[in-house]
Amino acid sequence: MSAGIKIPTYDLSGKVAIITGSTRGIGNAIAKVFAAYGCAVVITGRKQETCDKAAAEIVAAGGKAIGVATEITNSEHRENLINKTVEKFGKVDILINNAGVGGKEGPILETEENEWDTTMDTDLKSLFFLSKLFAAQVKEQGTGGRIVNMASAAGIKAAKYTSAYACAKAAVIHLTKVMANEWARYGINVNSVAPGYIITDMTKDVMANEKNAVAVMKMIAMRRFGEVDDVAGVALFLCTDASKYITGVLIPVDGGMTIG
């Protein structure tokens, strides 16, 4: 081993992470992986009962976690989330913006204004303003921090019948770069992850339809659907010292779906 080489670690001991939409699916997998690496995690979802249940599972496994019911589109709820985290743990280091909606879209000509607004409010506007609160807190702490924004392969590769969702996720990808540029001076690394077809509740309808599943599989170079831990591992990398000189990037986790 060459002298002077610093060995990257994946240790999150002493760190505190807010993970939105973490009572199930990708968010829950990230919470469990982070906790396993020593991070105290804040579970969020719409219902306190489900937040508490998810947090209890992590605590039972030896981790540190609390649940904070949060309607991510509500400004008071967003402020409460940051405040409760700091009250409990004294600081916050990591924000995983995972909460979102997939949208029940069809052709653009049939998309209603309220459907567009709901998707944009949840997937883009809420992410923007929660990140703003987080960055202000980290700036005050003077500790530096990490933000991982959950985008989507739909924000990279245009597909029919995904107009609002795809536009919101494409905006998240670009917003990540703007945040990274502005907040690097505060020691905040901001990156985004673009999952492809990951097996979750949001994609179960596609998986259940054999014709659709076969069509989707043909677009994936690796010829398999992703698992939640495929995404959780990348989120872990982006929040540890192994990625300390990376900011403003997008990492697709899609089995090669957006290669070409």
What amino acid is encoded at 129 in this protein?
F
Residues identified as active-site: 165
Average pLDDT of span 214-230: 93
Average pLDDT of span 203-220: 83
Asked if the structure places residue 206 within a domain, the reply is no
Using DSSP, state whether 29 is helix, strand or coil. helix
pLDDT value at position 248?
Answer: 98
pLDDT value at position 103?
Answer: 61
Asked if the structure places residue 5 within a domain, the reply is no
Q: What is the DSSP string of 208-234?
A: H-HHHHHHHHTT-TT-S-B-HHHHHHH
Q: Which pLDDT tens digit goes with each residue over 48-87?
A: 999 999 999 999 999 999 999 999 999 999 999 999 999 9
Dist. CA 189–CA 219, nearest whole Å: 32
Report CA-CA distances (Å) from 167 to 20, 74, 207. 20, 21, 24
Asked if the structure places residue 22 within a domain, the reply is yes
Residue (of 118, 136, 147, 172) closest to 20 by Cα position: 147
Indicate which CATH number applies to the domain containing 133. Answer: 3.40.50.720
Residue recorded with tokens 């990257």: 8
Asked if the structure places residue 204 within a domain, the reply is no
Asked if the structure places residue 157 within a domain, the reply is yes
Asked if the structure places residue 258 within a domain, the reply is no
Taking 90 as the threshold, does the pLDDT of residue 159 lie above it? no
Asked if the structure places residue 95 within a domain, the reply is yes
Q: Are 151 and 193 in contact (CB under 8 A)?
A: yes
Average pLDDT of span 86-96: 98
Give residue 247's domain range.
Answer: 16-198+228-253
Q: What are the backbone angles phi and psi of residue 219, rounded to the nearest 5°?
A: -85, -10
Asked if the structure places residue 101 within a domain, the reply is yes
pLDDT value at position 31?
Answer: 98
Q: How confident is the model at residue 20 (pLDDT cuts 50, 70, 90)?
A: very high
Distance between start and end Cα atoms, the chain: 39
Taking 70 as the threshold, does the pLDDT of residue 3 lie above it? no
Average pLDDT of span 224-232: 95
Q: Give the chain's domain count.
A: 1
Torsion sign across C-alpha atoms 149, 154, 155, 161: negative
Enter the tokens of residue 153: 């392969």
Percent of the chain past pLDDT 90, that is, above it, reads 85
Enter the tokens of residue 80: 């409460």
Dist. CA 78–CA 134, nearest whole Å: 10
